[in-house]
Amino acid sequence: MRLKLLAVIMLLTLLLIGCNKAEDHTYSLDFFEVSKVKLDNLQLDNINKIIEEKRIDNELKAFLFKDNENGQVNGGVSLNGKSFYIGKVSVENTPEDLMGIEEIEIFGKKAVKIYGVLGANYAQAFYWFVEEKPQDSIIQVDGQTMEIDLDDDDKKEIVSTLGTVPETRIYVWKEDSIYASDINKSIEAKSVSLKDKEKQLFEVYFEPNKPEEYVYFKDSFIKR
């Protein structure tokens, strides 16, 4: 009789654990350190046309330009009189609202955002942290990007979304470096996108036609 009672108690315990797991909608996110963009020297005679320029101060500026080889739009920065090439920014004839240079604040740091599109559903942005050392000053982010304070600490993070079936990443500052999390992979979701910027609300699909709402909090995704 005692053995049967113990067996029943163990079974009930396992069932309760299973229920708690089913009701637990908090997912820990996996993060990886973001690589910095390698800066290459830019020869001014390779510049065919300056499209846009943003001067930060007398020694710092960012610019978009076309070179002598093709019609694509490239990005460059000037640091203390030296010019550097950062990469392809956008295709030729990109609409003005999809390409440009902006001064922003991200992770509580002063930055310049250089953004454009390289094809259908393929946007990207470079973030230049102007107060950092040159070799640690620029990251490249794939996807449509926006800056938003996800954890209400008065410092904005980066959210990027890429693809017709949305794949979303969060970029955060911790341990004196920039880390990113691929949310789709971390929580094994089919689709993730930022639905409401004001409410910091993400829309998640684990299966078709069943959207769920989540928020980011302390390196985790929590169901609303």
Summarised one tens digit per residue, pLDDT across range 50-90 is 999 999 998 999 999 998 777 789 999 999 889 999 999 99
Give the pair of three-digit tokens for residue 156: 């904005």
Q: Is the pLDDT of residue 164 over 70?
A: yes
In a domain, 149, yes or no: yes
Tokens at 25, concatenated: 């909608």
Q: Is a pLDDT exceeding 60 seen at residue 17?
A: no
pLDDT over 70 at 10, yes or no = no
Judge whether 163 lies within some domain: yes
| 39, part of any domain | yes
Q: What pLDDT score was predicted for residue 44? A: 82
Sheet holding 40-41, edge to edge: 40-41, 82-90, 73-79, 60-67, 47-55
Whether the pLDDT of residue 177 is over 80: the answer is: yes
pLDDT the model gives residue 1: 52
Query: pTM of the predicted model, to two decimals?
Result: 0.86
Whether residue 15 is contained in a domain is answered as no
Kindly state whether residue 145 falls inside one of the protein's structural domains. yes
DSSP 152-193: SSS--EEEEEETTTTEEEEEEEETTEEEEEEHHHHHT-SEEE
The predicted-structure confidence for 94-145, as pLDDT tens digits, reads as follows 898 999 999 999 999 999 999 999 987 799 999 999 999 888 899 999 999 9
Percentage with pLDDT > 90 across the chain: 71
98 domain-assigned: yes
Q: State the Cα–Cα distance between residues 213 and 93, nearest whole angstrom.
A: 37
Tell me the C-alpha distance between 27 and 12, whole Å. 25
Q: What is the pLDDT of residue 2?
A: 53
Domain membership of residue 154 as a residue range: 25-223
Number of structural domains, the chain?
Answer: 1
210 lies in some domain: yes
Is the distance from CB of 201 to CB of 216 less than 8 angstroms? Answer: no
Spatial distance between the Cα atoms of 165 and 19, rounded to a whole number of angstroms? 31
The pLDDT of residue 83 is: 92
Is 42 a member of any domain? Answer: yes
